[in-house]
Structure 1
Amino acid sequence: MSRAGLAATLFGMLLAFPAAAELYRDRSVPMVSVESLDLSRYLGRWFEIARFPNRFEKNCVGVTADYGMREDGKVSVVNTCRQGTLDGPVKAAEGRATVKAPGQLSVTFVPWLPFARGDYWVLYVDPDYSLAVVGAPKGTTGWILARSPQISQADRDRAEAVLRSNGYDTDKLIEVTQPLR
């Protein structure tokens, strides 16, 4: 196969992935991101408490997301997980995000493929920046994040209510195993 043919095939495969992804939200429900996000307070480590299943986090436990400010004004993103068990092999993905609007970022983990990016909307962050709910308008991804590996039932209920108000089917959330603290 020629280089052009191979490139066209790979391009087609990449475009097909989002179409094949399961939808977890009713897209007729308007999605609303936070009106104001203090990016300096949002930076740092977040533990993934729950997520909607996705192909890039298959068998991931102990998932963390680390956000930092880059010199170019963009946000560095490092997602880390353990494969299968909390002592399993580490898998990490490095990316970058650009702020598009308050509470709305565009994230890419493949910088040389400009079309391989995702919308990352912060739907809720509590006043002390210890709990956040994130989603994507397409409805193929969504997360409950916290600064600690476990959260209270009240925080979980609040996070799920935010997801439901943005059209998500929270029955499809999966728990993310985290180390006990």
Structure 2
Amino acid sequence: MKFHLMPLALSLAIALGAASTSATELAPLQSVESVNLNRYLGRWYQIAHYPNKFQAQCVSDTTADYRLLPTGRIEVVNQCKTATGMTDKAVGEARLAQPRILGIPVGKVVSTSKLQVRFAPAVLGWVPGVWAPYWVVQLAPDYRYAVVSEPDRDYLWILSRTPTLAAQDRAAIDAQLQQQGFDLARLQEDPHTAQP
């Protein structure tokens, strides 16, 4: 009798779990319609983000600098101050997202607002998991702020052209983030001690 109850209890638990999961599923995340990559280049200040293991050492002054390379790709330089006052720096590369086989493009560019970024050595660029999605999901018309995430909403960054963000801009960003299904309680604020 116990053997029959266990599968029944397990099936019921799975069914209830599936019902609650489907009730809370979010619509697929949408990126902005397009990004003028030339306007997107330059320095961005990280205002807030979802904590992650690769930025755990950062305590302040987190920035991202984007520069167009001769190859048409974008150099990404992320840096921040650590608790010891040292500067931590990571250099990567971004490219427009498009279907690829062994790193070779085989289809059209998906959107200028959907990029892929890697911080692994270039020699590993052909490995599929090396490139991570980088989606611009909010962007001010004048490019004064941007919000970046990825399809699963596990990562999130709020960026600004200045070390501080106007209160009305932050309120607009937060309101849209809630509509997009992000958990605002997970956001960690990023202080800036240096001025531009």
Over the residues paired in the alignment, what is the CA RMSD in angstroms? 1.6
Please identify the structure whose Cα radius of gyration is greater: 2
Judge which range, 96-105 or 62-71, deviates more.
96-105
- Where structure 1 has 5 or more consecutive residues not aligned to the other structure, the ranges are 1-25
Taking structure 1 as reference, are residues 70 and 154 closer, same or farther at Cα in structure 2, changes over 3 Å only?
Answer: same
CA deviations over 1:27-85 (Å, ceiling 9, x no partner) = 63221111021110000000000000000111312100000101001111000011027
1:109 to 115, 119, 124: 119
Report the TM-score, using the length of structure 1 for normalisation.
0.80
1:146 to 147, 160, 174: 160
Distance (whole Å) between structure 2 residues aligned to residue 148 and residue 161 of structure 1: 21
SS in 1 for 2:51: coil
1:90 to 79, 87, 90: 87
Distance (whole Å) between structure 2 residues aligned to residue 35 and residue 168 of structure 1: 19
Shift in Å, 1:160: 1.5
Distance (whole Å) between structure 2 residues aligned to residue 165 and residue 112 of structure 1: 40
Could you tell me which residue of structure 2 aligns to residue 74 of structure 1? 73
SS in 2 for 1:65: strand
1:134 to 148, 164, 172: 148
Give the letter for the 2:48 counterpart.
Answer: A
1:179 aligns with 2:193: yes
Tell me the matched-pair count. Answer: 154
Q: Is contact 1:33–1:122 with CA below 8 Å preserved after alignment?
A: yes
SS in 1 for 2:177: helix
- Where structure 2 has 5 or more consecutive residues not aligned to the other structure, the ranges are 1-23, 98-110
Q: Is contact 1:27–1:138 with CA below 8 Å preserved after alignment?
A: no
1:57 aligns with 2:55: yes
2:96 to 95, 99, 104: 99
Shift in Å, 1:164: 1.9
Distance (whole Å) between structure 2 residues aligned to residue 161 and residue 139 of structure 1: 16
Q: Is contact 2:37–2:112 with CA below 8 Å preserved after alignment?
A: no
Shift in Å, 1:116: 2.1
Higher relative contact order (CA 8 A, sep 6+): 1
Taking structure 1 as reference, are residues 109 and 27 closer, same or farther at Cα in structure 2, changes over 3 Å only?
Answer: farther
CA deviations over 1:77-112 (Å, ceiling 9, x no partner) = 000011027xx1001000001112221100000033
Distance (whole Å) between structure 1 residues aligned to residue 96 and residue 158 of structure 2: 20
Judge which range, 71-80 or 111-120, deviates more.
111-120
Q: Is contact 1:27–1:167 with CA below 8 Å preserved after alignment?
A: no
